[in-house]
Structure 1
């Protein structure tokens, strides 16, 4: 297995372990900061779902500011509360739920009146659980499924005079770190007893169904109550305050209470007076009365439209926390480019869309845990990928710079576009220029290696600069010589013309360079140039280390023309074919002599040759001789 595959496998395993650790830690009550994130994401999903009409099952009778202004006091006197209960009871509701803590004694007559009113119909009274800290605690004893229930120090129950005529339910709700109630516990416990919640008591009474507590869920008759694993009911809000039908208790005192809003319905009596009732922030409303939060939970229980967050949903959350980051890391590893990023982004959007779709259809998949499981490993892996990509870019840049020292820029660009360039030999016309230093072999016997190296380096740099300036490609330095091609990577109409100009410039540049050398070296060095034009075969040679070159009669003739130049006391020899193709007839500072019909070594036919010499001004040769002396 390759090193990269091993690295990817290790990254995927670590990512899976991270996701599993995040899920387990949060499920065991750690990483509480994720609760705040989940509350925020829940609010956003609720807003995205929008306002929904609630099932018309519950009517709230609100003791609001209008009632308080009428009576001039709060809490409402027991006699007045008795009038409200009596007025509601006469219209035959399914159940009357009093969301008020009747724990203190009032006026004797008022208490007696309220006790008689509560006895007249099916009534549920609110009680409260008192916890040892500001937030609910979870028992650590191993007593089966009930061990996860919120454990209270004690219950704050209604006065016995009231409780003997009604059933009692605990009215506490569980708020997230944002303060918004996200669930309502269905069961509460102290050291010696378990109490039902207020909404569960109301729903059981309204439906007329018995309650069964199973090991991992609740049953109302044959209906499963969609609770979380700790027997709490997840709630989602239908809309802002008063979305659930709400009437003012003032209608009772005015005699305008609507029978249709009461009869055969669940009626919840509670406070919504400013400064007197409990209020909570929700996604739709910054101040929603607690009585409407409780009524929302009652509606969920009776209608069966609550959010599902049971054991199966938790298993799905665990899989999402493990698989989503693995998929994202896998995509980034599979495609280390924009394609991988786009694919990963599409997966994230698909997961977000699925999460929102599930939420709007009553399934509450955890989003915060999955994000916490996915973001760090993906960010770390992406960072490592960027770092590795930067290192790889530096490496490739260094290789490119190194390649630039061996291949002409035009050939590099062409190979980048077409890696198969010259994989098969190409027949074409091209101009070929050879240059060679004469006397170098004898000179190398006397010079030390460092001096010899510096001499060759300067010569090669001069040839490279001149050839590059005319678009020529040096196929290779042959010790003290070089071969330059004009026509690769593709033939051009001015190949011959550029080859001629390059040859003339090389002549001048090498002469100038040699004149700058020390006399002992300069006196032993010379040079010769041969240039020809015609058909060549361009190809790659070699197996593991390939180089581009040209072969054919044109190459051989260009090489032999250097000998012809030396034989005729010249330094630059052109073939007649090259000059005709280039349409070159000399320049103002040079002299062409010829033509000369001559044989070249290793070839049977004759070649027409022209010699180019620098035109010297009168006295220039003598002056140069004096300088040389």
Structure 2
């Protein structure tokens, strides 16, 4: 009788756990599950394999060949007008320009483009500017539209362009993984609602009126199932260029195939290496943003998007409650190998059902179910192992967790405090990013073994510089790395050590590239960004944990590499880092600045300085150069 009561209590607690996990995730409180779900979604997409997309969209890519021809990027407005004019002559259904036309350029180019936009059906891209992640935006109104992504403002095309076209918001939802898994269909500010760029294009191409229902959208008679916040879940057909893609250079060469344009949806967008508008996807480490947008457009027009609507969420909730109850019941009822075998068979059946549904267009959540299942089952199994005298193995597993962290200082800290960063910690820290330039192009032309040697030497150089300055490498990003100064605890000299590390890296990488064969060293460049400010430090993962940091400080440090490259520099520093480091110049370096600039994807202005080695011939002799 007592055992039955214990089993009943375990089942009730398990059901409450599953319901709590689902409710917590649905209300946005368990964000770590989003990263796990993104990884599991990538796996399911890869298992499904490459699929031929409906042949509805043609991407006209402004790629490296176009930039090499003109010598500048972004593409001059007069050249863009020529591209659009040629496309319009071939009579497409609609021309969608996935480029932000928000700034004025040469007057004749702007006027030419404005006249060209008036000659055909056009949709122009706009962007939504969102508040920082630390801010909470209260819903402005009740009802379904209260769940829409709320922007501070919209960056709209210049009126001279927007007067001749529809306008749609081009932002995508990347989540914590960086991979776009959905595209919001509607955006709002305090006073208006804007349609997304893909939705504008699809509505124009289908020539159907849009209806916003409480839990879905309608394009004429076509139902568009959406998530709870009117986001369109997307799955990728394959790697980049799976959707028909032609280079804009074919227009300048006069070789554009009419069949690639006529009666089709044409999306013009950037695919320039180093342009920044790239995203990781299940099939590609870097897919141009224009192809992500084109995937959403194809889903809308073809009606083949994966379903993750209210009915699917109800199924997710039931599975999150019933599946762990079933497993706990089996393990408690059969405390033997048979119980484990049956429970394992149930999990395999669930995984198979989940994969089958995904490959047939229904996106059942996997991460929430695992979070609902694993802890109760693990607790039950742990209790049974403890009751059976398996305490030694449990302690051994706990001790092995210490080896999952690389940095010696972190290992020593964990020995004193096993719960270090078990809960996220907010603190000030310094972040240094470094990345090789033109490495992707080089990797396509040299032997893989030689490429591996180059990367190994580069990583070893970064590791030595980080260790010498007391930094912690949180991740190697292929041909780059992120170094964190501030763990295991914040120190007064974190910024100073980060600054020294950045300068040491600058000099060390320059010497290393000079030592490479000219055919390699002359083709490589590098860029470094360093910033100081608040971060959120935590540890992620289950069996293999790692230390990570996120927040605006990390994002800004990463974007500084773009600022350095745009200003013909290699090391970009913020005044926040220099102030925190109490830096007053060095006898063997040149500090140029300040430059007041906006950072892509971030509101406000940042003060940036550029450091160069005084020994370089191209550098001025002055200690500080002022940029007007």
Summarize the alignment of residues 37-56 of structure 1 with structure 2, pairs less than 5 Å apart: 37-56=36-55
- 2: CA distance, partners of 1:132 / 1:377: 38
- The equivalent of 2:215 in structure 1 is 216
- The equivalent of 2:128 in structure 1 is 129
- The equivalent of 1:378 in structure 2 is 377
- The equivalent of 2:201 in structure 1 is 202
The CA deviation at 1:225 is: 0.7
Q: Is 1:344 paired with 2:343?
A: yes
- 1: CA distance, partners of 2:232 / 2:7: 42
- 1: CA distance, partners of 2:138 / 2:46: 34
* Structure 1 residue matching 2:181: 3-state secondary structure: strand
- 1: CA distance, partners of 2:263 / 2:315: 40
- 1: CA distance, partners of 2:99 / 2:363: 31
Q: Is 1:362 paired with 2:370?
A: no
Bigger mean CA offset, 41-50 vs 161-170: 41-50
- 2: CA distance, partners of 1:135 / 1:51: 38
The CA deviation at 1:49 is: 0.8
The CA deviation at 1:387 is: 3.1
Q: 1:159–1:44: structure 2 CA closer, same or farther, 3 Å change rule? A: same
- Give yes or no for contact 2:67–2:73 (8 Å, CA) kept in 1: yes
- 1: CA distance, partners of 2:333 / 2:63: 62
- 2: CA distance, partners of 1:234 / 1:49: 16
* Structure 2 residue matching 1:269: 3-state secondary structure: strand
* Structure 2 residue matching 1:319: 3-state secondary structure: helix
- The equivalent of 1:298 in structure 2 is 297
The CA deviation at 1:276 is: 2.2
- 1: CA distance, partners of 2:186 / 2:51: 28
- The equivalent of 1:493 in structure 2 is none
The CA deviation at 1:388 is: 3.4
Deviations 1:493-523 (A, max 9, x none): xxxxxxxxxxxxxxxxxxxxxxxxxxxxxxx
- 2: CA distance, partners of 1:139 / 1:266: 37
Aligned residue-pair number: 390
- Give yes or no for contact 1:96–1:121 (8 Å, CA) kept in 2: yes
- 2: CA distance, partners of 1:47 / 1:36: 17
**Structure 1: runs of 5 or more not aligned:** 392-629
- Give yes or no for contact 1:58–1:267 (8 Å, CA) kept in 2: yes
Over aligned residue pairs, what C-alpha RMSD do you find? Answer: 1.3
- The equivalent of 2:161 in structure 1 is 162
The CA deviation at 1:385 is: 2.4
- 1: CA distance, partners of 2:142 / 2:290: 33
TM-score of the pair, normalised by structure 1 = 0.61
- The equivalent of 2:618 in structure 1 is none
- 1: CA distance, partners of 2:136 / 2:199: 21
Summarize the alignment of residues 20-39 of structure 1 with structure 2, pairs less than 5 Å apart: 20-39=19-38
The CA deviation at 1:358 is: 0.6
- 2: CA distance, partners of 1:57 / 1:142: 37
- 1: CA distance, partners of 2:100 / 2:129: 13
**Structure 2: runs of 5 or more not aligned:** 391-628
Q: 1:186–1:137: structure 2 CA closer, same or farther, 3 Å change rule? A: farther
Deviations 1:351-402 (A, max 9, x none): 00000111111111110000000000001111222333459xxxxxxxxxxx
The CA deviation at 1:222 is: 1.4
Summarize the alignment of residues 100-249 of structure 1 with structure 2, pairs less than 5 Å apart: 100-133=99-132, 139-249=138-248
- 2: CA distance, partners of 1:142 / 1:161: 33
- Give yes or no for contact 1:41–1:367 (8 Å, CA) kept in 2: yes
The CA deviation at 1:185 is: 0.3
Deviations 1:68-102 (A, max 9, x none): 00011111111110010011001110000000000
Q: 1:92–1:128: structure 2 CA closer, same or farther, 3 Å change rule? A: same
- The equivalent of 1:59 in structure 2 is 58
* Structure 1 residue matching 2:29: 3-state secondary structure: coil
TM-score of the pair, normalised by structure 2 = 0.61
- 2: CA distance, partners of 1:39 / 1:136: 24
- The equivalent of 2:287 in structure 1 is 288
The CA deviation at 1:137 is: 6.7
- The equivalent of 2:7 in structure 1 is 8
- Give yes or no for contact 1:138–1:147 (8 Å, CA) kept in 2: no
- 2: CA distance, partners of 1:295 / 1:308: 18
- Give yes or no for contact 1:272–1:278 (8 Å, CA) kept in 2: yes
- 2: CA distance, partners of 1:10 / 1:385: 16
- Give yes or no for contact 1:169–1:201 (8 Å, CA) kept in 2: yes
- 2: CA distance, partners of 1:243 / 1:139: 40
Deviations 1:428-459 (A, max 9, x none): xxxxxxxxxxxxxxxxxxxxxxxxxxxxxxxx
- 1: CA distance, partners of 2:194 / 2:161: 17
* Structure 1 residue matching 2:211: 3-state secondary structure: strand
- 1: CA distance, partners of 2:178 / 2:95: 28
- Give yes or no for contact 1:137–1:150 (8 Å, CA) kept in 2: no
- The equivalent of 2:314 in structure 1 is 315
- The equivalent of 2:323 in structure 1 is 324
- The equivalent of 1:396 in structure 2 is none
Looking at CA atoms only, which structure, 1 or 2, has the larger radius of gyration?
Answer: 1
- 1: CA distance, partners of 2:195 / 2:114: 22
- The equivalent of 1:276 in structure 2 is 275
Q: 1:266–1:138: structure 2 CA closer, same or farther, 3 Å change rule? A: farther
- 2: CA distance, partners of 1:97 / 1:284: 25
- Give yes or no for contact 1:212–1:219 (8 Å, CA) kept in 2: yes
* Structure 2 residue matching 1:99: 3-state secondary structure: strand
Deviations 1:157-180 (A, max 9, x none): 000000000000000000021100
* Structure 2 residue matching 1:372: 3-state secondary structure: helix
- The equivalent of 1:88 in structure 2 is 87
- 1: CA distance, partners of 2:97 / 2:331: 58
The CA deviation at 1:36 is: 0.7
- 1: CA distance, partners of 2:389 / 2:286: 53
Deviations 1:408-440 (A, max 9, x none): xxxxxxxxxxxxxxxxxxxxxxxxxxxxxxxxx
- 1: CA distance, partners of 2:140 / 2:24: 19
- Give yes or no for contact 2:215–2:225 (8 Å, CA) kept in 1: no
